[in-house]
Each structure stands twice: as structure tokens, then as C-alpha cells.
Amino acid sequence: MNISSTVKIIVSTAIIWMSRLLYYPYLARFFLLSKNKSRRLHVGCGKNYFNGWLNADINPRADLILVIEKKLPFSIGSLDRIYSEHVLEHVSYETGVFFLKEAFRTLRTGGIIRIAMPDLDALIDGYQKDWHLLDWVNWPEYKFIKTKG
């Protein structure tokens, strides 16, 4: 592990803990001051903000800080849509199940949840054949990954 990846891990860990500390104050601020009354929740938005959606992440720059291990701050049946891309693979099985139960609780009858995750078959196939064909392996932030080939 090089210094750059060590720094990224430290910064990521600090953001996660800061978000846990700020969760309730930011939640109160959101419900008191936010004009975003969307019934569509984008969980784990990162830097990808969807217009017309409530963009939630552990990052304080999101519309709402959301700590996935905690109860979703919405009432029963209050959301029309929930979208999450590349989030659940970063949490434990128990946390993932808890989140899915919360999503079910907060979705209205007929509401839709869409979850995108990496395809493990594609990763294994890529590793066994030509790892460099996987697009993300060539991104600058992943240059530290040493592969066979």
C-alpha cells in the first residue's frame, strides 16, 4: 500500500465518522430548512446529483447526510422511488438487509427501488482473461492495483 492509498483510507474513514457525528444535526437542518420535498431518494449519490431527487450520502455536501446503518428518516410509504448505485457492496450483509427493510418501509405501495452493484461474474471473468479490459482498472485512482497481465 502506498502513501496515496493510505491517505485516501484515512480521509474516507474521517468522513464516515464525521458524518455519523453530524447525522442528527444535519437531519434536523434538512427537515427545518430544506426546500427539497422530493419523494425520490438517491442513496449514496457521491458527486452524482440527480435533478428532482433528494441526493443523500455520507458526505456533508449532499442534500442530506444519510448513514445507511441508521433508520431512514422518512415515514412509512412516503417515498415513490429509491435508487442506489455501488453502495451495498461496501457494507456488511446485516447492514444491507437493514437498509432494504428500511427501503421497503418507506416506499409507498407500488413504489420502485433500483439497486445497481458490480457484476462478480464479469470481475472474475476479466481477471481470468484480460483484466485490463475492465474500464475502471485503468482509471488513475486505481493505478496502484497490481494485476497479472
How much is the average pLDDT of 11-32?
72
Q: How confident is the model at residue 148 (pLDDT cuts 50, 70, 90)?
A: low
Pairing of strands 64-65, 54-57: parallel
In whole angstroms, what is the distance from residue 70 CA to residue 48 CA?
22
User: pLDDT tens digits, residue range 79-120?
Assistant: 999 999 999 988 899 999 999 999 999 999 999 999 999 888
In whole angstroms, what is the distance from residue 48 CA to residue 84 CA?
11
In whole angstroms, what is the distance from residue 15 CA to residue 22 CA?
10
pLDDT score at 142: 73
16 vs 74, more confident: 74
pLDDT score at 149: 55
How much is the average pLDDT of 37-58?
91
**How many Cβ atoms are within 10 Å of 45's Cβ, its own excluded?**
24
Q: How confident is the model at residue 71 (pLDDT cuts 50, 70, 90)?
A: very high
This prediction has a pTM of 0.71
**pLDDT higher than 80, residue 21:** no
What is the grid cell recorded at 84? Answer: 442506489
Rg (CA), the chain: 18
**pLDDT higher than 80, residue 19:** no
Domain positions in the chain: 3-117, 119-149
Residue 115 DSSP SS3: strand
